[in-house]
Structure 1
Amino acid sequence: MERITARYYIETPFEVERAAAVLAGEQSSGTFVAVPGETEELKQRFAARIETINHLETVSEPAIPGAKASSGKYNRAEVEVSWSVENFGYNLPAMVSTLQGNLYEITQFTGLKLMDLEVPPSFGDHFKGPRFGIAGCRKLTGVQDRPLIGTIIKPSIGLTPQQTADMVKVLAEAGIDFIKDDELLVSSANSSFEERLEAVMRVINIHADKTGKRVMYAINISDEVDTMLRRYEKVVASGNTCAMVSINSVGLSGVKKVCDQGELAIHGHRNGWGMLNRHPLLGIEFPAYQKIWRLAGVDQLHVNGIQNKFWESDDSVVRSIEACLKPMLGGYSILPVVSSGQWGGQAPETYRRTQTTDLLYMAGGGIMAHPDGPAGGVVALNQAWEAAVAGLSVEAAAQRYPEFGNSVKKFGSN
């Protein structure tokens, strides 16, 4: 039978082999003590299997609470464990419960993080994956050979539908490719989902009729599943091409249900990501995380940004972009969404380190607070990426492009 393999970074006060055996047993056919029904035949078919162990460093302080080390030493290692697909079939929640379930609570571990996972080719027959991905999002926006340039409606919450629509009109006329709601806004006291959708799409449709360019608007539909599906239908009927879902809040089955409708590009917002990842020895690493959401069908996924305003390092952001761009199951394409304190000044370093323009590059203040207004902000971001691909430095680009030069004056010292 085909197997799924997961790679973990672990820390334990016990022998690594012993701790790995506990993980494999607890997450398959075993428990803390031998039970009569766990026959050799059963174990041969359903028990998890330890594939590899790579011993790393030893430390004197535990990363998180767990069993105390009598020796005062805690051993770290990379461990690969595999499970037969028979254990859970093609059931994503059951798979995640296996790969990320009670093992985080096992006392033998003072650190454990799921680093990556590999699924067999048959998953491609059972999961359609992203319906649009990179190529589809480019087709929907008409953008080729450069990043999609996007922004976020700010203030995050508090604007009326008409105020939001007025802002969208300015941005559309400025040449923006993509606009999204902030994750904090779905349907508020002064901006119901229905009224905001109607007001914004009136502007986008008029602009599309006039210019031929349809701005992609990721309106936030996050809610209970039935409500999301009703909203999804309204988004489709409005002529829009995209919807946003807060994937950690909605959950795997809810997101997959939305993605399975297949008519809209789904913008996956990962708010809450720090809770899952920020500790170096607890949670899940992005390569594993993005594969789960690719299987669910998300088309776009946040990866943070170079020189961002959050805690994540540039190295981590680069690894996340590379993970999204790595082929999966013969073509499960997902568009990396670069955001968090971005303006054009980070474009040269982003391109130097990733060598790709297959990005949705989002700037909030970098567009809205540009000295020449939002139009200047959009122009400056396009100039920044033109310069980045040409190999120009920020300084050289500022000399060549007036709007980008004004960005440097405004944001360069921040």
Structure 2
Amino acid sequence: MGTAGRAPVLILGSGWGGFSLARRLDKSKFETTLVSPANHFLFTPLLPSTTVGTLEFRCIQEPVRTIPHLRYVQAKATRIDLASRTAVVRDIFKGREHELRFDKLVLAVGCKTATFGTPGVDERERAGRHVFFLKHLYHARAIRNRLLELFERADAPGVEPELRRRLLTFVVVGGGPTSCEFTSELFDFLRQDVSRWYPDLVRDVRVTLVEAGPVLLGPFHKSLREYAMSIFERREVDVRLGVSVKAVRSRGGVPADGGVPADDDDSPVAVLSDGSEMEFGLMVWSAGLRAVRLTESLGLPRAPSGRVLVDAYCRVRGHEARNDVFAIGDCAVHDERQLAQIAQVASQQGAYVARVLNAGGEPRDAFRFFSLGAMVSLGDFAGAYDGTHVGDPHGKELRLPRVSGPLAWLMWRGGYAARQVSFANMMLIPMHWFKSFFFGRDISRF
């Protein structure tokens, strides 16, 4: 038992699942500890908006320590001994290891971006050069700095036209909502801000969206996918479907040490599966998910994808009888009823596990996901909402309308502004939208 007879519960992860659980868990019954390298919850649907300054970073995050009566440890879990119910965590500052005890463990560690072993991608992303993921706040900050750097460099005196075109070529990899929303935010930035502050550069900008599958926005209804394609075609975005990035190499060849060239003017080249090559200044990669190292090292039952196998009650396989180990969100999967790796699922699973634990720990009813539909913002007062699969994907579904255009864009903005955890962010987000629309985005680089 923990302090004052409260059972210790250890939550790993501060994303949608872990944060939802930590907020709802009864702290009078449980001594709750949350471990995560990120000391904030990130409202991920609004992350692409921060890459160009439509929104500021702080208004889409909530500090974990704002949850009352929660113990937070900024660290990474490195080892878990389920037999002794202990976890070893390493703090992110000095690398010191500490041991934490638990009666109940909830894995909510999410996933990381998958590169499918594409040569040159991981190396450049780790170096913070040319290739960037878009999953965390520090990714968005790096993209924003790189984007502004490219425009400043391209506008410098004496820059050759060929180099200017290379610097201002942007490649977005992936055809899901994150990639489409980033591409749309980039379009708004180019149309509303670059045209004002860098008018001589607009003609040199090229944007290419690469998707290995046959369509953009695969989970959406066909009519909405076609609508999104028509939007990008009208904006002269080069959309390449059925094409993947096979490698990212240096323009001047691979360095002797196999790393990234020291000369940043040596623009990288994206080698595509259709045989074409493309030099670029910035690549944003949002093409898939893979398991994090911790879930790979626990020795728990896993699916071929690397996700931890759970039963219908979010309990890890092999631990059903004791009701002591749960897994939720992107890191978990039910072998018979697989759900998409999206925020809605993780958040609802966190709330479900909280209800189970608060009621004594013995689940009565299986977890049932209720889909609220799918939304995407396409910028410039355009958006799409697919309500054709609202409800239980494995049960009864409602057939709500499909909406596109300005109304869907308003639904997207209104819905996500209203879903903020704090009143402060509910106020700040519309204020930043107002500021960006009427006064432009901040193009300062620091």
Which TM-score applies when normalising by structure 1? 0.26
TM-score, normalised to structure 2, is: 0.25
- Looking at secondary structure, tell me which structure has more helix per residue: 1
